[in-house]
C-alpha cells in the first residue's frame, strides 16, 4: 500500500520523505490556504516545490467547475511537472475531464467520492486514482471503511486498474484497516503515519534492553577495576 501525505506544508513533506516511506502527496485549495499560499502563480510554484521534494505523484486540484475550465486548468497543471496528477471533482464535468485526460495519458485523481456508483464512473473514465473520503463518511455516522471494501470488490470483479486512494484518513487505525481491506493508497496527516511506530511493548522492551546493557557494562567496569587493583599489588 502506498503512503501519501495530505498537506501543503513543505516541512511536513520533508519530514515524511526523510522517514523513507512516502510515496506521494495530495493537496487541495483548503490546504494551500492554510499554509498562506494564495494567488495563482504562488500556488503553481508551490506545486513545483512539492514535486522537487518527493519522488512520487503529487495531486494538484483544479478550481473550475465547468468542463472547459477543468481542461484548461488541468493542462496547465500537468505541464508544471511530470509528477503532477490532475485532481478533479466527482461531477459530470469531472468525469468527462477524467476521460479527456486519460486519453491524453495524463494522470487524474477523481475526488469527493462517497458512493460505489461514483467510483465506478471514475474507473470507467480511466481515472488513475479514485478518492473515497473515509473520515467524512464517519463524521455523518456512515461506515467509511465499508465503502472502501465495496469499491475493492467491484474493481476486482471487473479488473479496473484505477487505484483506490483512501482519503480523509484521520488516524492510525484508519491506515491499518484500509490496508486490511485492500486500499491501494492512503492519504492523511503525518501524525497518523507516525502512529504506526507506536506500541507500548516496543517501549517496554527497548527500555529493558537499555537497562540490561547499562547494568552489564557497570558490572564489567567493577570487575575490571578490581582486576586492576589486584594486579597493582604484585
pLDDT tens by residue, 84-135:
999 999 999 999 999 999 999 999 999 999 999 999 999 999 999 999 999 9
pLDDT of residue 42: 95
Could you tell me if residue 9 is left (phi over 0), alpha (psi between -120 and 50 degrees) or otherwise beta?
beta
Which of 45, 72, 87, 99 does the annotation list as catalytic?
A: 87
Q: What is the DSSP letter of 33?
A: H
pLDDT of residue 92: 98
220 CB neighbour count, 10 Å cutoff: 10
Question: pLDDT of 194-231, one tens digit each?
Answer: 999 999 999 898 888 888 788 777 756 555 455 455 54
**Residue carrying the nine cell digits 480511466:** 126
> 15 falls in which pLDDT band (50, 70, 90)?
very high
- pTM, whole model, 2 decimals? 0.89
Select from 124, 61, 73 the least CA-distant residue to 95. 124
Rounded CA separation 130/59 (Å): 12
- pLDDT at residue 164 is higher than 60: yes
Say how many CA atoms lie within 13 Å of 227 toward its Cβ: 6
- Active-site residue flag, 45: no
pLDDT of residue 105: 97
Across 48-137, the runs of DSSP E, i.e. the strands, are: 57-61, 84-89, 108-113, 129-132
| Cα–Cα distances in angstroms (integers) from residue 149 to residues 131, 153, 196, in the given order | 13, 6, 21
Amino acid at each position: 500500500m502506498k503512503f501519501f501525505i495530505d498537506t501543503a506544508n513543505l516541512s511536513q513533506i520533508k519530514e515524511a520523505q526523510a522517514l523513507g516511506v512516502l510515496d506521494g502527496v495530495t493537496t487541495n485549495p483548503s490546504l494551500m490556504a492554510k499554509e498562506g499560499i494564495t494567488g495563482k502563480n504562488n500556488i503553481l510554484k508551490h506545486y513545483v516545490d512539492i514535486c522537487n521534494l518527493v519522488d512520487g505523484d503529487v495531486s494538484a486540484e483544479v478550481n473550475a467547475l465547468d468542463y472547459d475550465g477543468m481542461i484548461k486548468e488541468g493542462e496547465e497543471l500537468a505541464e508544471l511537472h511530470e509528477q503532477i496528477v490532475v485532481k478533479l471533482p466527482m461531477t459530470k464535468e469531472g468525469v468527462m475531464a477524467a476521460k479527456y485526460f486519460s486519453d491524453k495519458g495524463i494522470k487524474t485523481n477523481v475526488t469527493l467520492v462517497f458512493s460505489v456508483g461514483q467510483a465506478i464512473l471514475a474507473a470507467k473514465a480511466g481515472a488513475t486514482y479514485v478518492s473515497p473520503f473515509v473520515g467524512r463518511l464517519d463524521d455523518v455516522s456512515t461506515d467509511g471503511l465499508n465503502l472502501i471494501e465495496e469499491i475493492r470488490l467491484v474493481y476486482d470483479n471487473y479488473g479496473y486498474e484505477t487505484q483506490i486512494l483512501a482519503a480523509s484518513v484521520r488516524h492510525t487505525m484508519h491506515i491499518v484497516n484500509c490496508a486490511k481491506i485492500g486500499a491501494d493508497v492512503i492519504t492523511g496527516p503525518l501524525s497518523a503515519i507516525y502512529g504506526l511506530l507506536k506500541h507500548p511493548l516496543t517501549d517496554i522492551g527497548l527500555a529493558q534492553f537499555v537497562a540490561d546493557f547499562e547494568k552489564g557494562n557497570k558490572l564489567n567496569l567493577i570487575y575490571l577495576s578490581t582486576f586492576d587493583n589486584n594486579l597493582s599489588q604484585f
